Structure 1
Amino acid sequence: MASEPFEDTADYVQSLARGLQVLRAFSHDLSNPSLSQVAERAGLSRAVARRLLLTLQHLGYVGSRGRSFYLMPRVLELGYSYLSSLDLTELAQETLMLLSERVGESCSLAVLDGSDIVYVLRVPVRRVMSVALGVGARLPAFATSLGRVVLADLSDTELTAWMREQKFRALTPHTLHTMTALKAEIKRVREQGYSIVARELEVGLYSIAVPIHAADGRVVAALNVGMPYTDDAPARAVKLILPALHDAQRSIEHAIQRGNWQPHMALTRVYE
């Protein structure tokens, strides 16, 4: 017999969930929303959204200007509390800097969070996407090299369960966005040990990623190099960048083992 949804139990705090929905309503493309826009994006009534916004404003997480609202710097405390508890970023910082210098491209470390990958460390060299990426930025996991190497560590059952909860869409004419195509690609990633995504997230972007394993062998993060798409990008990625990625991968994993680092629950598989 299936257990009742957690949202229907006495332990579920609806006001907390709604407050987080309001915070997530702010984004790069909606940085100064009105009350109506917050309510619509958060799926709440105007009255509920207003009370939550005023509470968040009182606590210092939200500010207002006229009829618009905006996030205050204090919201960074939420993300930095997580990052400060994640020893992995300290272990990987120097390695990413050396990798970026070696290949002359931007390098990133990310983890899987639900439908998205979230950047926890980044060394940018040039801007290769239309949106600025930094620590805390989120991208759809299915269309990124970072996401696919983490997803490749899931069992077939776990992967199917994850996919059934997603809404895939074509981000460019080259995006793999069906379960059949994605499963075939992730199987290839699983076999070869790395992922290449060419023009699927943005037409001008080419990226290659490898997984990062914890001491127990599970994939807990992904490391990638992103570059502009050119005719010679495929050959350069495999012949020059992949060996550098493997060196960085080994360096980070050795540091994890020496430091006896174990992944937080938030970084373990989505479907245990």
Structure 2
Amino acid sequence: MVEDPKRSTEFVEALAKGIAVIECFDAAHPDMTLSEIARRVGLSPAAARRSLITLSALGYVGSAGKRFFLKPKVMTLGSGFYFAARIDEILLPELRQIVETHGDAASVAMLDGHDVIYIAHHSTQRARRATAVVGARYPAHATSLGRVLLAGLPKSELERYFARVEPKALTSRTVTDKNILRGLIEEAGERGYATTVDQLDYGITALAVPIRNAEGRVTAAVNSSGYSGLIGPDQMVTDRLGDLRVAAGRISAAAARTPALSAALNG
């Protein structure tokens, strides 16, 4: 049985609280009061205040009146991984090639809990829609990337996912029924790809394939997405599946030669 890291005597709770405070800011909550932060993170006002004082002293958080906001220094926390994993050298060229060939947008993501987190993205799209910038995270059940990644989980982990997740509707077409979702994920595993239409946001049709490590385990996924009014899932499979699989293979091979990226994907 794997030990829960949070129960370890070496787990630093104060550090975890500080990171949680940073993570509670998003597009819907760009600045908040102390009480709002404490409520979102699930901390007492005193604990949230101590974290904010520390983060402010380190230059990660600023304040104006009674409201707190993130400062640009926060971006350095992710840039270390970006450069160490050579995202710009390994992943972006593949995504640029996909977009150059097919237009629209392409991304690479990993599974993080019940969400996918984007580690690389390239796009020619300018329309207002859910943004797949590096570091963005979205519910796995509503994305082609997420369904491919869930399909690659060991059976016990997939069962744990379904036992804990409560799928939310992001559009009127988002699949939230667990039985239907389970069937779609199983289908993605059998086919080796997943497609979605208007699941995460209206106007998005996407196709994703898995990226595997040397042992064949699914560690990440790459996708191509377009505007639903211009391309459907069947056409996307016909036009883009082959190129996505080639890109996934090249990314897998390159990652095996890059220690930081390999460790991150296999982590």
Same fold (TM over 0.5): yes
1:115 alignment partner in structure 2: 114
Query: Post-superposition shift, 1:22?
Result: 0.8
Asked if 2 retains the 8 angstrom alpha-carbon contact of 1:111 and 1:221, the reply is yes
Asked if 1 retains the 8 angstrom alpha-carbon contact of 2:85 and 2:258, the reply is no
Give the 3 Å change call, closer, same or farther, for CA 192–150 of structure 1 in structure 2. same
Query: Post-superposition shift, 1:92?
Result: 2.0
2:70 maps to amino acid: L
1:159 alignment partner in structure 2: 158
2:219 maps to amino acid: V
Asked if 2 retains the 8 angstrom alpha-carbon contact of 1:215 and 1:256, the reply is no
Following superposition of structure 1 onto structure 2, how do residues 53-92 of structure 1 map, counting pairs within 5 Å? Answer: 53-87=52-86, 90-92=89-91
2:50 alignment partner in structure 1: 51
Asked if 2 retains the 8 angstrom alpha-carbon contact of 1:111 and 1:117, the reply is yes
Query: Post-superposition shift, 1:3?
Result: 8.6
Instruction: List gaps (5 residues or longer) in structure 2.
Output: none
C-alpha deviations, 1:188-247, integer Å up to 9, x for none?
Answer: 001111000111111221111111112221111110111111264233202212222123
Cα distance between partner residues in 2 of 1:184 and 1:15: 41
2:211 alignment partner in structure 1: 212
Pairing 1:36–2:35 present: yes
Pairing 1:137–2:164 present: no
Give the 3 Å change call, closer, same or farther, for CA 162–88 of structure 1 in structure 2. farther
2:124 alignment partner in structure 1: 125
Asked if 1 retains the 8 angstrom alpha-carbon contact of 2:105 and 2:123, the reply is yes
1:267 alignment partner in structure 2: 265
Asked if 2 retains the 8 angstrom alpha-carbon contact of 1:175 and 1:199, the reply is yes
1:101 alignment partner in structure 2: 100
Residue 121 of structure 1 aligns to a residue whose secondary structure is strand
Query: Post-superposition shift, 1:4?
Result: 7.9
C-alpha deviations, 1:79-131, integer Å up to 9, x for none?
Answer: 12222332465322211111110001111111111111111111011045534
Pairing 1:174–2:173 present: yes
Asked if 2 retains the 8 angstrom alpha-carbon contact of 1:89 and 1:120, the reply is no
Percent of counterpart pairs with the same letter?
Answer: 36
1:20 maps to amino acid: I
So what's the TM-score if we normalise by structure 2? 0.91
Cα distance between partner residues in 2 of 1:165 and 1:151: 14
Residue 33 of structure 1 aligns to a residue whose secondary structure is strand
Residue 196 of structure 1 aligns to a residue whose secondary structure is strand
Asked if 2 retains the 8 angstrom alpha-carbon contact of 1:128 and 1:205, the reply is no
1:242 alignment partner in structure 2: 241
Give the 3 Å change call, closer, same or farther, for CA 150–78 of structure 1 in structure 2. same
Residue 262 of structure 2 aligns to a residue whose secondary structure is coil
Asked if 2 retains the 8 angstrom alpha-carbon contact of 1:111 and 1:119, the reply is yes
Range with greater deviation from structure 2 (234-243 or 179-188): 234-243
Range with greater deviation from structure 2 (23-32 or 228-237): 228-237
Cα distance between partner residues in 2 of 1:7 and 1:251: 36
1:242 maps to amino acid: L
Instruction: List gaps (5 residues or longer) in structure 1.
Output: none
Following superposition of structure 1 onto structure 2, how do residues 249-264 of structure 1 map, counting pairs within 5 Å? Answer: 249-257=248-256, 259=257, 263-264=262-263
Pairing 1:183–2:164 present: no
Cα distance between partner residues in 2 of 1:4 and 1:244: 41
Cα distance between partner residues in 2 of 1:90 and 1:162: 33
Cα distance between partner residues in 2 of 1:215 and 1:18: 36
Quote the RMSD (CA, aligned, Å). Answer: 2.2
Asked if 2 retains the 8 angstrom alpha-carbon contact of 1:128 and 1:204, the reply is no
Asked if 2 retains the 8 angstrom alpha-carbon contact of 1:110 and 1:222, the reply is yes
1:267 maps to amino acid: L
Give the 3 Å change call, closer, same or farther, for CA 247–129 of structure 1 in structure 2. farther
Cα distance between partner residues in 2 of 1:23 and 1:215: 35
Asked if 1 retains the 8 angstrom alpha-carbon contact of 2:205 and 2:231, the reply is no
